[in-house]
Structure 1
Amino acid sequence: MADGNGGAPHLEALAQYVKDLSFENPNAPQSLRPQETPPNISIQVNVNSKPIGEDDYEIELILEGAAGEGDGMLFRFELNFGGVFRLMNIPKEHISQVLMIECPRLMFPFARAVLANAVRDGGFPPFLLQPIDFGGLYQARMQELQRGGMNS
């Protein structure tokens, strides 16, 4: 890994792909009827990274969610959207931020389109997931790790 002194910082997306996609419509066809009230929607977001070469990393953007609950469940989804990124001339102290903030930010529009299509293909209007603040998620994760480190 370059130390940041040998050229301009460079981030390159080499590939983006669906690693795993699950869509469930457990109460169809009843769930496809018009709803009197909007469903409760829950979303969980997770980002993982691992090195796969000297300058290359795989990023996993994991989105899990549901619309409705219990007998009123409309749909559930799990998407593991992957990407391979090359980082060059990025200082070591910034690599984690680039991997956990910038890479998923670049992947998000594509993952959102996969989900919108899956929900639409399940018989519902496209589900347009709102933009995610990956910087805020990263900061919250770092604070959680710091608190956990202090308690051990």
Structure 2
Amino acid sequence: MAENENGAAPQQPVMPQMKVLGQFIRDLSFENILARKPIEGEVQPDIQVQVALDGRKRGEGNQYEVVSKFNVTSKNKGSDTVLFVLELEYAGLFQIDNVPNEQLHPFLLIECPRMLFPFVRRIVSDVTRDGGFPPLNLDNIDFVALYRQQLAQRQQTQAAEKTPAN
């Protein structure tokens, strides 16, 4: 190993480390509205997916909980009649080391949900299939864009709260 001018070995950059300690469904709801009130004519589903993310520190050490909240609504294109509604909160417990504090928030809300997403996709597919519909395979989610969007919304909300009412 090469030594630097002081005779010490050069410092290797410390790489961020993430370990999934656990993952679980925190809340799951599926409502098959089509089964209660059938629709006349052809059904052309229009799927809307809303995603929200939340992360927080857990107790001592570098453990964090990240929750991905999915709200999936399927409506009939012609009539806007709701076919089904699926709500899923999927949580992951993570041990995160060597991430600077200023990068921790984006790391929690981008990298952690990205690790959990394949499991969420499978759950959504299984639940919609078991609920009487074709399996819904969610498209990939750009968690970087989602993070930036949520950050912009939070900044707008804070700016609106600071603006005095006329």
Q: Which TM-score band (shorter chain)?
A: 0.7 to 0.9
Partner of 1:78: 87
Question: Which has the higher mean CA deviation after the structures are superposed, 70-79 or 52-61?
Answer: 70-79
Partner of 2:9: none
Partner of 2:67: 60
Cα offset for 1:100? 0.4
Q: More relative contact order in 1 or in 2 (CA 8 Å, sep 6+)?
A: 1
Partner of 1:26: 33
CA distance in 2 between partners of 1:45 and 1:81 (Å): 11
CA distance in 1 between partners of 2:71 and 2:158 (Å): 28
Output aligned runs, 1:94-113, within 5 Å. 94-113=103-122
Provide the alpha-carbon RMSD of the alignment.
2.4
2:58 is the alignment partner of 1:47: no
1:6 touches 1:89 (CA, 8 Å); kept in 2?
no
Q: Deviations over 1:92-113 (max 9, x none)?
A: 1110011000000111110110
1:119 touches 1:126 (CA, 8 Å); kept in 2?
yes
Gaps in structure 2 of 5+ consecutive residues: 1-11
Question: Which has the higher mean CA deviation after the structures are superposed, 6-15 or 130-139?
Answer: 6-15
Q: Tell which structure's C-alpha radius of gyration is larger.
A: 2
**TM-score when normalising by structure 1:** 0.86
Gaps in structure 1 of 5+ consecutive residues: none
Q: 1:106 to 1:9 in 2, by over 3 A?
A: same
Q: Quick one: percent identity of the two aligned structures?
A: 35
**TM-score when normalising by structure 2:** 0.79
